Amino acid sequence: MNLADLNTIARAMVAPGKGILAADESSGTIKKRFDVIGVESTETSRRDYREMMFRSKEAMSQYISGVILYDETIWQNAADGTPLVKLIEQAGSIPGIKVDEGTQPLPNCPGELITVGLDKLAERLAKYYKQGARFAKWRAVIDIDSASGVPTHTAIMTNAHALARYAALCQQAQIVPIVEPEVLMDGAHDIDTCYNVTEWVLKETFQQLYFQRVALEGMILKPNMAIAGKKSAKKAGVEEVAEKTVKLLKSCVPSAVPGIAFLSGGQSDEEATAHLDAMNKIGGLTSGLPWGLTFSYGRALQAAPQKAWSGKADNIAAGQAAFTHRAKMNSLASKGEWTTALESKKAA
């Protein structure tokens, strides 16, 4: 492992004003997204959609530091035969790859999941590196259902262990691991419950990373924010989410980690931007947070372009404008420079 090179990539992923596009929806998930806009999900439509984003010059060169791809996409060519990976690189962005293989029920823990995909991961990572991937992603999923005792320590520990094994294998393959332990916001829990569970999950995750000798300087953390569940009667305001998330991360994430790139997790586009902005306004690059705080959004970057594109070649420019706008808003938020008023000034 060359840690200096891993650190250079990790820092580029969270460079000021830049963040990550999570375009790694599995074929099943992208079908659900396409169903919403009435587009049939085929290999070609998935390619066309992603090519549209990767050819958004302003967004890709100025706001998007890296793109997380799904296995199908990393091998695909654009309509003119250029590999999609090359389009990303030519724009000055870094290709990455989702390497987990989804979730399975965790034995003895009803309702809980374990992320799978460690078997043969070393071989897969070597192939992805050759194809241009310089970072990877593995997502663990932790649900909250206090009434039934979820999450259990078993689920948290087992998923943290898998995350750390994945991260060690990535670094050995000279690939920066994005470590993503996602505490879901699907439940009815309040923000403090989310805070407590996320604290537990992050403590366990960093313990496992230590046990498995992962170099923190060569990884990126992708956490959820401290936020109330979608079904909670008590929705927390933007300032509360920002303050609690910053406090939580300060107490759990060692300063050797170069950057933190949040998932959006089902927040609306503007909420995800407002929360990131508020955190950077509190923390600020100049006020001593030890790591960069940016975005690694899937839904919150893509809902608008998906709708604007709606599968029609005539709408490519509109889709790119919508994508560029969201990328720019989140870029500003990553510097604490976003305002609601900017939302109405759509990109040309």
Angle at 67 between CA 64 and CA 72, to 5 degrees: 155
Q: Does 298 bind ligand 13P (CB under 6 A)?
A: yes
Supply the minimum distance, in Å, between the C-beta of residue 323 and ligand 13P: 14
Cα torsion for 285, 291, 295, 298, to the nearest 10°? 180
Known active-site residue 89: no
Supply the minimum distance, in Å, between the C-beta of residue 10 and ligand 13P: 17
Cβ–Cβ under 8 Å, residues 151 and 199: no
Supply the minimum distance, in Å, between the C-beta of residue 79 and ligand 13P: 26
Supply the minimum distance, in Å, between the C-beta of residue 298 and ligand 13P: 3
> Distance between CA 138 and CA 183 in Å, rounded?
14
Q: Is 151 helix (H, G, I), strand (E, B) or coil?
A: coil
Q: Does 201 bind ligand 13P (CB under 6 A)?
A: no
**17 or 298: whose CB is closer to ligand 13P?**
298
Known active-site residue 204: no
Residue that is written with structure tokens 């498995």 in the block:
212
**Helical pair 191-211 and 238-252, crossing angle rounded to 10 deg:** 20
Q: Is 23 helix (H, G, I), strand (E, B) or coil?
A: strand
Q: Does 162 bind ligand 13P (CB under 6 A)?
A: no
Q: Does 135 bind ligand 13P (CB under 6 A)?
A: no
Q: Does 139 bind ligand 13P (CB under 6 A)?
A: yes
The span of 161-169, 204-212, 247-255, 258-266 binding ligand 13P (CB under 6 A) equals 258-266
Q: Which of 222, 244, 328, 335 is catalytic?
A: 222
Q: Which of 58, 180, 182, 204 is catalytic?
A: 180
User: Left (φ > 0), alpha (ψ -120 to 50) or beta: where does 310 sit?
Assistant: left
Q: Does 115 bind ligand 13P (CB under 6 A)?
A: no
Cα separation values, 171 from 4, 118, 284, Å: 11, 14, 29
Supply the minimum distance, in Å, between the C-beta of residue 277 and ligand 13P: 16
Cβ–Cβ under 8 Å, residues 84 and 77: yes
Angle at 231 between CA 225 and CA 236, to 5 degrees: 45
**Sole binder of ligand 13P in the list 297, 309, 323, 338 (CB under 6 A):** 297
Q: Does 276 bind ligand 13P (CB under 6 A)?
A: no
Q: Does 65 bind ligand 13P (CB under 6 A)?
A: no
**Residues with catalytic function:** 180, 222
Binding site for ligand 13P (CB under 6 A): 22, 139, 180, 263-265, 297-300
